[in-house]
């Protein structure tokens, strides 16, 4: 509102905000299926982070509720309509390549380095503090606001499936888990699992091949163990390969076996072109040797159809829509063990005009002579769009434009956010056009100034949305 200087007000909250954010960042809230129980649906880490966030809400006098350790919310205001702010406290695996402990947050050059600092603990905490400011100022509101906290955004969204089954669905809302000015359109999201048998030939054997942490991450690390007649020659050629490839690695010999490791660059699966896929580079090198049968098929698919195939064209699944842009493809999980078999998991972000069944059908047609089976995995999501003339979109863009002086325009992304769970749901920040995006990467960070700017925008936008 014109008579409230939100930018000045948020300055008084900076120290407390950072302290509370550090409390969350110190918790390793990676999903752990091996430790999952009825009490901890996705493992204890995400639940610990959820409880810590809810405790902060209780401390500040808000109403809170935990929904079976899947999700929770912190509530303020009164009225029939509900504004939902949907964030999450789970994080992708830390991976390798960090200069600091990913769960011991540090501030360097006014940036907070930690897993989850930008995706999504930092932005969600900024949105929470925006609500806290409105409460502290005792401003009149005519609607409820709920900061809804999920624990499974990076995997299957089971947290929000559960929450929306047992709690009231917000009438409208946003997710602080993407970019400004606004994300009012999101591509569809689907994954295809390619399956292989585990047979090898005689001249060269692929004992194992492993890469990737999640389908929605570009694999930074890859490792293969091979058995060949001339391991020294393979090692020499590998070192030559490294001279011209944008990767690093090493080869270790043990008799006729060679263990090869490769390091690329991680990136978010919705923007695979920003990463360097260690798995497909490793397969490209190995496919020069005399592998046979299923091992050959595994390597051949990775090199011929997946390597540097960010738009899916090599698979025949490429598609482009005027509003939502082009399909993107990420190949995030690679596993092969001799005699046991293998799999490759591909994740596609697709625009309106195509669908997951069409994508699967083309996978099968293109790879019919290579893979044993190709199937869709669960959890696919259709494209989502909220028009620019919706009052929610208009209000958010107006506040962003007034506070930043920058152009406020609509955007469509390949990433999936909780915003798409609501018919009138969007993603709103917290990354600015000039922010450095390190989501899902080693040395993830978020600039403190960006978080404070986002907090100010969130405070004004939330107040306008719940005071009308």
Which of 343, 376, 409 terminates a domain? The answer is 376
Residues 178 and 199 in one domain: no
Residues 68 and 177 in one domain: yes
Dihedral over Cα of 407, 413, 417, 421: its sign:
positive
Residue 368 within any structural domain of the chain: yes
Given a cut of 80, whether residue 310 has pLDDT beyond it is yes
Which of 376, 410, 438 terminates a domain? The answer is 376
Domain with residue 302: its CATH number is 3.30.70.360
Residue 201 within any structural domain of the chain: yes
Task: Tell me whether residue 330 is exposed, middle or buried, using C-beta atoms within 10 angstroms of its C-beta: 0 to 12, 13 to 18, 19 or more.
Answer: buried
Total structural domains within the chain = 2
Q: Which pLDDT band holds residue 3 (cuts at 50, 70, 90)?
A: confident
State the DSSP string of 288-356.
TS---HHHHHHHHHIIIIITT-TTSGGGT---EETTTEE-EEEEEEEEEETTTEEEEEEEEEE-TT--H
pLDDT of residue 274: 95
Question: Strands 412-413 and 185-186, how do they pair?
Answer: parallel
User: What are the pLDDT digits (tens) for 108-141?
Assistant: 999 999 999 999 999 999 999 999 999 999 999 9
User: What are the pLDDT digits (tens) for 251-264?
Assistant: 999 999 999 999 99
pLDDT of residue 216: 87
Given a cut of 50, whether residue 316 has pLDDT beyond it is yes
Q: How much is the pTM?
A: 0.81
User: What are the pLDDT digits (tens) for 183-240?
Assistant: 999 999 999 999 999 999 998 999 999 999 988 899 999 999 999 999 999 999 999 9
User: What are the pLDDT digits (tens) for 384-441?
Assistant: 999 999 999 999 999 999 999 999 999 998 878 999 999 999 999 999 999 999 998 9
Backbone φ, ψ for residue 111 (5° rounding): -125, 140
Residues 195 and 305 in one domain: yes
pLDDT of residue 358: 97
Which among 20, 119, 153, 221 is annotated as catalytic? Answer: 153
CA gap 189, 349 in Å, rounded: 5
Please give the residue range of the domain that contains residue 332.
189-376
pLDDT of residue 91: 97
SS3 category, 111: strand
Residues 159 and 66 in one domain: yes
Question: In this structure, what token pair is assigned to residue 144?
Answer: 């409820």
Using left for φ > 0, alpha for ψ between -120 and 50, and beta otherwise, residue 273 falls in: alpha
Residues 392 and 362 in one domain: no
Residue 263 within any structural domain of the chain: yes
Do residues 269 and 215 make contact, with C-beta atoms less than 8 angstroms apart?
yes
Given a cut of 50, whether residue 1 has pLDDT beyond it is no
**CA atoms in the 13 A half-sphere facing the CB of 131:** 27
Residue 193 within any structural domain of the chain: yes
Residues 107 and 200 in one domain: no
Residues 305 and 411 in one domain: no
Residue 136 within any structural domain of the chain: yes
Residues 345 and 371 in one domain: yes
Given a cut of 70, whether residue 468 has pLDDT beyond it is no
Residues 208 and 287 in one domain: yes
Do residues 219 and 279 make contact, with C-beta atoms less than 8 angstroms apart?
yes
pLDDT of residue 113: 98
Do residues 263 and 98 make contact, with C-beta atoms less than 8 angstroms apart?
no
Residue 1 within any structural domain of the chain: no
User: What are the pLDDT digits (tens) for 435-452?
Assistant: 999 998 999 999 999 999
Given a cut of 60, whether residue 322 has pLDDT beyond it is yes
CA gap 406, 9 in Å, rounded: 21
Residues 313 and 226 in one domain: yes
What is the percentage of the chain residues whose pLDDT exceeds 90? 94
Query: Tokens 């806290």 label which residue?
Result: 132
Average pLDDT over residues 142-148: 97
Which among 28, 90, 119, 186 is annotated as catalytic? Answer: 90
Dihedral over Cα of 113, 399, 56, 268: its sign:
negative
Domain with residue 62: its CATH number is 3.40.630.10
Which of 376, 395, 412 terminates a domain? The answer is 376
Residues 205 and 334 in one domain: yes
Number of neighbouring beta carbons within 10 Å of residue 75: 17
**Residue 426: its H or E element:** strand 425-427
User: What are the pLDDT digits (tens) for 59-110?
Assistant: 999 999 999 999 999 999 999 999 999 999 999 999 999 999 999 999 999 9
Annotation says 90 is catalytic: yes
Q: Which pLDDT band holds residue 462 (cuts at 50, 70, 90)?
A: very high
CA gap 246, 223 in Å, rounded: 16
Task: Tell me whether residue 201 is exposed, middle or buried, using C-beta atoms within 10 angstroms of its C-beta: 0 to 12, 13 to 18, 19 or more.
Answer: middle
Spell out the long-range contacts of 234-238 with Cβ–Cβ below 8 A and sequence spacing 24 or more.
234/258, 234/289, 237/285, 237/288, 238/285
Residues 298 and 262 in one domain: yes
CA gap 460, 468 in Å, rounded: 12
- Give the Å distances, CA to CA, from 108 to 27, 68, 80, 100, 105: 20, 37, 44, 11, 10
Do residues 347 and 360 make contact, with C-beta atoms less than 8 angstroms apart?
no
């Amino acid at each position: 509102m014109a008579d409230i200087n939100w930018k000045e007000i948020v300055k008084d909250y900076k120290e407390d905000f950072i302290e509370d954010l550090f409390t969350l960042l110190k918790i390793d809230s990676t999903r752990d299926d091996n430790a999952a129980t009825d009490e901890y649906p996705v493992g204890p880490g995400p639940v610990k982070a959820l409880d810590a966030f809810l405790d902060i809400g209780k401390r500040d006098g808000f109403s809170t509720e935990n929904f079976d350790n899947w999700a929770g919310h912190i509530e303020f205001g009164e009225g029939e309509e509900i504004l939902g702010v949907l964030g999450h406290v789970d994080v992708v695996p830390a991976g390798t390549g960090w200069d600091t402990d990913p769960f011991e947050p540090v501030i360097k050059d006014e940036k907070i380095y930690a897993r989850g600092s930008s995706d999504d603990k930092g932005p969600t905490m900024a949105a929470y503090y925006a609500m806290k400011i409105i409460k502290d100022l005792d401003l009149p509101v005519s609607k409820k606001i709920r900061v809804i906290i999920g624990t499974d955004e990076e995997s299957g969204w089971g947290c929000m499936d559960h929450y929306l089954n047992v709690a009231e669905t917000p009438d409208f809302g946003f997710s602080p888990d993407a970019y400004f000015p606004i994300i009012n359109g999101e591509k569809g999201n689907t994954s295809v699992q390619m399956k292989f048998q585990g047979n090898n030939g005689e001249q060269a054997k692929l004992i194992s091949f492993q890469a990737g942490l999640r389908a929605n991450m570009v694999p930074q690390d890859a490792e293969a163990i091979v058995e060949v007649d001339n391991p020294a020659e393979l090692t020499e050629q590998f070192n030559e390969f490294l001279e011209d490839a944008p990767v690093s690695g090493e080869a270790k010999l043990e008799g006729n076996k060679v263990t090869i490791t490769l390091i690329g660059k991680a990136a978010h699966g919705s923007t695979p072109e920003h990463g360097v896929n260690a798995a497909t580079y490793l397969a490209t090198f190995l496919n020069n040797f005399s592998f046979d049968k299923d091992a050959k098929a595994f390597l051949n698919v990775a090199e011929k159809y997946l390597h540097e195939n960010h738009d899916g064209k090599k698979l025949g699944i490429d598609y482009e829509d005027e509003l939502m842009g082009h399909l993107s493809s990420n190949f995030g999980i690679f596993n092969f063990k001799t005699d046991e078999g293998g799999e490759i998991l591909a994740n596609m972000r697709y625009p309106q005009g195509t669908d997951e069944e069409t994508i699967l059908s083309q996978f099968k047609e293109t790879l019919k002579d290579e893979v044993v089976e190709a199937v869709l995995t669960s959890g696919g999501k259709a494209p989502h769009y909220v028009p620019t003339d919706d009052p929610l979109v208009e209000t958010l863009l107006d506040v962003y434009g007034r506070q930043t002086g920058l152009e406020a325009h609509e955007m469509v992304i390949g990433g999936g956010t909780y915003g798409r769970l609501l018919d009138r749901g969007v993603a709103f920040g917290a990354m600015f056009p000039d922010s450095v995006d390190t989501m899902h990467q080693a040395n993830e960070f978020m600039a403190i100034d960006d978080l404070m700017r986002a907090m100010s925008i969130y405070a004004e936008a939330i107040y306008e949305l719940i005071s009308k």
